Structure 1
Amino acid sequence: MNSVQVMVMEHDYILRMLNVVRKACYKVMKGEDINYDDFYKMIEFIKNYADEHHHGKEEKFLFKEMQTKLGKLGENLITHGMLVEHDLGRLYMSDLRDALERVKNGDEESKLDIISNAVGYTHLLKRHIAKENDAVYKFGETNLPKEIIDEINLKTEAFELEAEKKGTQKYYVDVLENLEKRYL
């Protein structure tokens, strides 16, 4: 698999987690007890798999080359588009964690913040993933020189192998599948 194929496959896992997050929020909305451990697992998946593992490859390899090699259009697309959305996603997750803590400490009104941050994140990421899959990745593959694409593919392969040695992919797919059994 080349780097873009790996990233698209990861998007599929991330989209599945977004469905879990939404279903968990629906339970909160209906007044069911919050399963804090499950929410923390969702946040862990998003922080470590979606952000550090997946976005890490995008930011270190593909996006970096697009910023430096594709002129003003590449710079603007990545710097003022994709990276801004990555940062916004991080803010949603930070605010979600804070809201969970407030509710645990008795602030019932912060359930609104749990739902709004979690669902806001799902909406952001669904649109973000569609842009990457349908436009950003294709723009990069079409316009970056072949030798740069080959270098990105090699770096991605090495990154994936190192993560595989640590069990990263398997661990987070297992987390996802366990949460899907409870929420979907």
Structure 2
Amino acid sequence: MNSIKIMVDEHENILRMLKVVRSACYGIFNDDDICYEDFYDMVDFIRNYADKHHHGKEEKFLFKEMKSNLGSVGNNLITHGMLVEHDYGRMYVSNLIDALERVKNGDEESKLDVIANAISYTHLLERHIAKENDGVYKFAEKSLSKEVLDDINKKAETFEQDAEAKGTQKNYLNLLQKLEKKYLY
């Protein structure tokens, strides 16, 4: 198993969801009613597939080893770059949920905050994914020893198998397809 290839593939699924989020926001911009169930499904995907599942592997395995084995460059790249961006993403999603609740409770102006936080999340993740795919992952593959990469792959494989046993990947890819059919086609 090549854990970095799996993470790149997961990025493609996350990018697909970002298109759904953008389309749903465009609907709000055009005065469509907010479908709260769909937005909560988008948040569920973001929190559990993109963050817990995907970022979980990065943070627990790859980034941990990069910080431990690649000196100050690896530590700074991860600590002051990738992990900060993960935290910004979590903030945007938390703010999005708060804004959805305010709109649900009658605060029409908070539609601006729904759009602002959702779109900010999409922009952040698009740039973040490009940095990881084009820089961070390649740096890791080039700079970490074969033994360390093999260890990451082994841990990621167990993580993937545990998630598959729970139906994580299947559940969220089905949810993604459902939302794509509604918002993109």
TM-score bucket of the superposed structures, by smaller chain = over 0.9
Q: 2:156 maps to what in 1?
A: 156
Give, in whole Å, the separation in 2 of the partners of 1:144 and 1:116. 38
Aligned partner of residue 50 in structure 1, secondary structure:
helix
Q: 2:182 maps to what in 1?
A: 182
Q: 2:111 maps to what in 1?
A: 111
TM-score normalized with structure 2 length = 0.99
Q: 2:91 maps to what in 1?
A: 91
- Paired residue type of 1:96: L
Deviations 1:127-157 (A, max 9, x none): 0000000000000111011100000000011
Give, in whole Å, the separation in 1 of the partners of 2:23 and 2:163. 29
Give, in whole Å, the separation in 1 of the partners of 2:75 and 2:154. 23
Give, in whole Å, the separation in 1 of the partners of 2:33 and 2:94. 21
Q: 1:68 maps to what in 2?
A: 68
Structure 1 residue runs without a partner (length 5+): none
Q: How many Å apart are 1:75 and its aligned residue?
A: 0.4
- Paired residue type of 1:170: K
Q: Percent identity?
A: 68
Give, in whole Å, the separation in 1 of the partners of 2:21 and 2:134. 24
Q: 1:7 maps to what in 2?
A: 7
Tell me the C-alpha RMSD between the 2 structures.
0.4
- Paired residue type of 1:165: A
Structure 2 residue runs without a partner (length 5+): none
Q: How many Å apart are 1:158 and its aligned residue?
A: 0.6
Give, in whole Å, the separation in 2 of the partners of 1:9 and 1:157. 14
Give, in whole Å, the separation in 1 of the partners of 2:132 and 2:76. 14
The aligned length equals 184
Deviations 1:7-52 (A, max 9, x none): 0000000000000000000000000100000000000000000000
Give, in whole Å, the separation in 2 of the partners of 1:6 and 1:61. 13
Give, in whole Å, the separation in 2 of the partners of 1:67 and 1:143. 12
TM-score normalized with structure 1 length = 0.99
Deviations 1:91-135 (A, max 9, x none): 000000000000000000000000000000000000000000000
Deviations 1:61-117 (A, max 9, x none): 000000011000000000000000000000000000000000000000000000000
